[in-house]
Structure 1
Amino acid sequence: MTNHKFLEGISLDPYVDGKRLSVSGATHPTFDPATGEVICDVPVSDSSIVNKAVDSSRKALKGAWAKVTPAERSRMLIRIAQEIRLDAERLANVESLDSGKPLREAKGDIETSARYFEYYGGIADKLQGDTIPLGPDFVSFTMHEPIGATAHIIPWNFPLVTTARGLAPALAAGATAVIKPAEQTPLTALMLPYYLERAGVPAGVVNVICGPGSTTGAPLTAHTGISHVTFTGSVATGKAVMLAAASHVSSVTMELGGKSPVVVLADADQDAALEGVLKAIFTNAGQVCSAGSRLVIERSCAEPFLAALVARIKTFTFGRGLDNPDIGPIITHPQLLKIENIVNESIAAGADLIAGGKIAKPEGLGGWFFEPTVLVASDPSTKCVQEEIFGPVLTVQIADNFDHACELADGTEFGLVAGIYTKDVSKALRFSKYISAGQVFINQFFAGGVETPFGGTKNSGFGREKGLEALRAYYSVKTVTARI
């Protein structure tokens, strides 16, 4: 347990069938990554608790939840949004403490989490089928039915917002859910049941269990009672999740990260492009799946742009997320070492280091920080070009012209998002058609919102979250045809 003021009165036990389960046995620490100190120890849910959680969700699917009308589901989702907003200040502080991200970013995440429930609350009573014209002797129509009990494997970088992103459409469609937050950042997911209960969500509809992937995630994704798995994480783990889901023919939504390009052409508004590039890579210290981690820039404007970029980076501050620094900590020490290794290997392979490049040690903090780093790589096969680093490291590729920029931008096995800065609408749209990516941003990175479908191509995964497209994962279509 913890004595931290933001967690007073919050149970860290798994939430199953509408109540907290008192668990004895293994626990897992969650750390403040800015200090390296343990915030609290969270009980680990083993396979027996996983079984109870899935059984509870399956029972609710045919029981209390099935009796809730779509209109009442809509009202429940909107009430969840209201409850989250009422406790937004505490949630943001917990999120910042647990993940290390700057408090201003955590506040935005909490509002976005509420918005997901609000958005899907507006569609829950409007999911309807079609009639199919087969001629005068038949009546044929389709019905939308909840897909079943769903599993949600949540990443550590956006804990509550990613939970809401999958849970809200699942509930809107009438499905039930078992949530497994990342063991590094479980706290806001463990707080979520309080808001669900106050919103009137029946017991068993949402269960929250915690623990490492091997202990908790693996038996959850392999459970025969799970009908759909929504996963956000690494390519390697995603492949393992798909194999587990395939064993019982469960559908999956896979969001597996990226190596996303930001193209800056010579005709672009250079000041706006600079702000966009900084935001794209240094939000949450680069620990964002859709981070603009590659700058592809036309040669004719590269030198002054990079000079301005490096000058801005040199002004950045480090610190605890709660103190709103420019750059917060890296989530774990192993992740910090991974970043350092890729940077060093890329430099050894010929990349030019023009800013940062080292582990940072801010005064008074014992946590895990890395300097905002810029590498210029001429060889597209360099690690910093091809591998997802998940840290504050920007790789620069110099393009001779627009066509070369497009070629470089599309030159990895990832395809999550891509951005372009240009005043030429024709070039922007040509780029949008050329690039293999799930989302393309024009003259603003991270454009869009809750309403815009999100997902990847190639090694970035498949399936779509956000927007109305996300609902398709959580209902099945039944066709009824009658001769009359």
Structure 2
Amino acid sequence: MSARSTVTGGGAGAEHIPVAGQWRAGTGESLRSVDPATGELIATVAAAGVGDVDEAARNGAEVAAEPSWREMLPHRRARFLARAADLIERDRDELALLQTRDTGKPLAEARALVDSAAGAFRFYASVLETSQGVVTPPRGQHLAMSVHEPVGVIGAITPWNSPIASDAQKLAPALAAGNAVLLKPAEATPLVSLALARLLDESGLPPGLVSVLPGPGSVVGDAIVRHPAVGKVSFTGGTATGRAIGRIAADKVMPVTTELGGKSPTIVCADADIDQAVAGVLFGIFSSSGQSCVAGSRIFVHADIYEEFTARLVAAARTLRVGPGTDPATQVGPLATVEHRDRVAAMVDRARDEGAIVLCGGQAPSEPALSRGAYYLPTLLAGLANDAKTCQEEIFGPVGVLLPFSGEEELVAAANNTVYGLACGIWTRDYRTAWRLARRVEAGTVWINTYKQFSIATPFSGTKASGVGVEKGTDGIKAYMRQKSVYFGLDPDPIPWAAR
């Protein structure tokens, strides 16, 4: 069944969700999927309730414990992931269109995210093909080895800004590790996650291994995190929710991986290639309509080039094409919901109250054709100090703040003066400066003369209030496993202590 059938396909469409191996109506209050470009209803989507979570978790624990799955040789498990990658690629255009309609993303960006999802499944299939345990150096009359085993049931909670890529980034390594997964997509954007679930069914995965449970985080997400059968939670979203999950996990003594908010600095040095820097800074803050945890929202520019760079950046921002994601010319689509657009607008109004100068944007577009959508113009602000609320709190929209700097010590202090530590961009021709700043700025990822480039093979993490744990890379699969040490005694004589 193709991805599109999740919305259009008869009785098993959006009115049903996969719970414990069966597609059926959920017990929660149904959700409305709305096209943020037009305000039109796309679909009414079944939602899970607390009872569905309980059933899915208990069933998932049973399926994950079955020897046919838990003890399956890694290279055989890899086949399911490789097949999932093939199916995602087969339905690439349908999945991209579905994500564009649900989130407002431009189609080119949606296609890239679908490709990322396929790549995640293919990468972890290859990791399984080469996975191995470790025999540790002997320090006595024994042979010791370290092995990794599945946790059992994983709770995966994903955000609305890039659903299919975020889903795959958690599902692929968790399944590769031998677990069952309870996937809770964002309340506003569940469609592509349900489409992905159908493809996983088609891949031949054991029924019940993956349940998709749409619904409010305060109900469904909370029930997943608290359920005694859930042994690990991976969450991508806001810092406040991440802290709440951490408190519950502490009571359960349960590991978590959290990828949370950011207020990432982008640094433009005096010797930067200004053409490259302008293009990179624009992409870093305005792609995804600014709805990105790694958005380069604090733009530090050396005082020697501040005026020239600012003028060119503002001029370029004004030429960005704002429109529906289905228009191939669109660069900046609508925000995910009208409610979120209004929150972004309110934060820009607060910035004005703080003394910000609006260099461009600062409002919704005036074109009648865009009036029904959740649009907001690319916005650049100046005139604020780094300790202003606008410079410290994540806006999660197309809003950047320009901040001049003169010396490196001043720059590093300001860049690190935030509760967050997710990403950083550096624009300079001097590799020594690039290396020095990359090591001094507190961030999980640093881009030098580029921005928002990702690889499933490269670990991704945050520091401070931007999260704990690692996703992606070969370490990403270990995050969904428990490590165990096994000793074989080689001494033919009894342990001396017992002979006394």
TM interval, shorter chain, is over 0.9
| Counterpart-to-counterpart distance in 2, 1:162 and 1:5 | 21
Conservation of the 8 A alpha-carbon contact between 1:128 and 1:144: no
1:99 corresponds in structure 2 to 103
- Residue range with higher mean Cα deviation, 8-17 or 143-152: 8-17
2:55 corresponds in structure 1 to 52
Alignment partner of 1:183 is 2:187: yes
| Counterpart-to-counterpart distance in 2, 1:136 and 1:414 | 46
| Counterpart-to-counterpart distance in 1, 2:477 and 2:51 | 30
2:399 corresponds in structure 1 to 393
Of 439, 443, 460, which aligns to 2:449?
443
| Counterpart-to-counterpart distance in 2, 1:225 and 1:108 | 35
Output aligned runs, 1:333-352, within 5 Å. 333-352=338-357
Output aligned runs, 1:300-315, within 5 Å. 300-315=304-319
Conservation of the 8 A alpha-carbon contact between 1:339 and 1:390: yes
List per-residue Cα deviations over 1:81-112 (Å, max 9, x = no partner).
00000000000000000000111100100001
Question: Which protein has the larger Cα radius of gyration, Structure 1 or Structure 2?
Answer: 2
Of 458, 462, 465, which aligns to 1:459?
465
| Counterpart-to-counterpart distance in 1, 2:200 and 2:72 | 15
1:36 corresponds in structure 2 to 39
Partner amino acid, structure 2, of 1:244: I
CA RMSD, 1 decimal: 1.6
Partner amino acid, structure 2, of 1:386: Q
| Counterpart-to-counterpart distance in 2, 1:137 and 1:259 | 53
Partner amino acid, structure 2, of 1:330: L
How far is 1:298 from its partner?
A: 0.2
| Counterpart-to-counterpart distance in 1, 2:396 and 2:137 | 51
| Counterpart-to-counterpart distance in 1, 2:213 and 2:140 | 53
DSSP 3-state at the match of 2:397:
coil
Output aligned runs, 1:45-444, within 5 Å. 45-63=48-66, 64-135=68-139, 137-324=141-328, 325-365=330-370, 366-444=372-450
How far is 1:361 from its partner?
A: 4.3
Conservation of the 8 A alpha-carbon contact between 1:222 and 1:247: no
Conservation of the 8 A alpha-carbon contact between 1:361 and 1:369: no
- Residue range with higher mean Cα deviation, 420-429 or 371-380: 371-380
- Residue range with higher mean Cα deviation, 419-428 or 20-29: 20-29
| Counterpart-to-counterpart distance in 2, 1:422 and 1:381 | 25
| Counterpart-to-counterpart distance in 1, 2:181 and 2:384 | 46
List per-residue Cα deviations over 1:398-445 (Å, max 9, x = no partner).
001333222222221110000100011111111011111001111101
Partner amino acid, structure 1, of 2:256: V
2:7 corresponds in structure 1 to 7
| Counterpart-to-counterpart distance in 2, 1:6 and 1:371 | 32
Conservation of the 8 A alpha-carbon contact between 1:319 and 1:362: no
Conservation of the 8 A alpha-carbon contact between 1:127 and 1:173: no
List per-residue Cα deviations over 1:310-332 (Å, max 9, x = no partner).
11122222221111412111112
| Counterpart-to-counterpart distance in 2, 1:460 and 1:377 | 26
DSSP 3-state at the match of 1:292:
coil
Conservation of the 8 A alpha-carbon contact between 1:298 and 1:402: no
Output the TM-score relative to the length of structure 2.
Answer: 0.93
- The verdict on how the C-alpha distance between 1:59 and 1:409 changes in structure 2, with shifts beyond 3 A counting, is same
How far is 1:254 from its partner?
A: 0.7
How far is 1:303 from its partner?
A: 0.9
- The verdict on how the C-alpha distance between 1:29 and 1:479 changes in structure 2, with shifts beyond 3 A counting, is same
2:497 corresponds in structure 1 to none
1:26 corresponds in structure 2 to 29
How far is 1:133 from its partner?
A: 3.0
Conservation of the 8 A alpha-carbon contact between 1:227 and 1:251: yes
DSSP 3-state at the match of 1:359:
coil
DSSP 3-state at the match of 1:139:
strand
Quote the sequence identity (%): 37
How far is 1:37 from its partner?
A: 1.9
How far is 1:386 from its partner?
A: 0.4
How far is 1:11 from its partner?
A: 2.0
Partner amino acid, structure 1, of 2:274: Q
DSSP 3-state at the match of 1:118:
helix
Alignment partner of 1:473 is 2:476: no
| Counterpart-to-counterpart distance in 2, 1:378 and 1:368 | 27
What is the aligned residue count? 481
Conservation of the 8 A alpha-carbon contact between 2:50 and 2:223: yes
Conservation of the 8 A alpha-carbon contact between 1:342 and 1:383: no
Conservation of the 8 A alpha-carbon contact between 1:317 and 1:327: yes
- The verdict on how the C-alpha distance between 1:72 and 1:346 changes in structure 2, with shifts beyond 3 A counting, is same
2:498 corresponds in structure 1 to none
How far is 1:446 from its partner?
A: 1.4
Partner amino acid, structure 1, of 2:443: A
| Counterpart-to-counterpart distance in 2, 1:439 and 1:221 | 28
- The verdict on how the C-alpha distance between 1:254 and 1:88 changes in structure 2, with shifts beyond 3 A counting, is same
Of 472, 489, 497, which aligns to 1:483?
489
DSSP 3-state at the match of 2:460:
coil
How far is 1:77 from its partner?
A: 0.7
| Counterpart-to-counterpart distance in 1, 2:427 and 2:124 | 32
- The verdict on how the C-alpha distance between 1:440 and 1:452 changes in structure 2, with shifts beyond 3 A counting, is same
List per-residue Cα deviations over 1:258-317 (Å, max 9, x = no partner).
000110011011100111001000111000111111110001111111111111122222
List per-residue Cα deviations over 1:105-130 (Å, max 9, x = no partner).
00100001000000010011333222
| Counterpart-to-counterpart distance in 1, 2:6 and 2:478 | 37
| Counterpart-to-counterpart distance in 1, 2:33 and 2:381 | 32
| Counterpart-to-counterpart distance in 1, 2:434 and 2:368 | 44
DSSP 3-state at the match of 1:374:
strand
| Counterpart-to-counterpart distance in 2, 1:5 and 1:199 | 16
DSSP 3-state at the match of 1:123:
helix
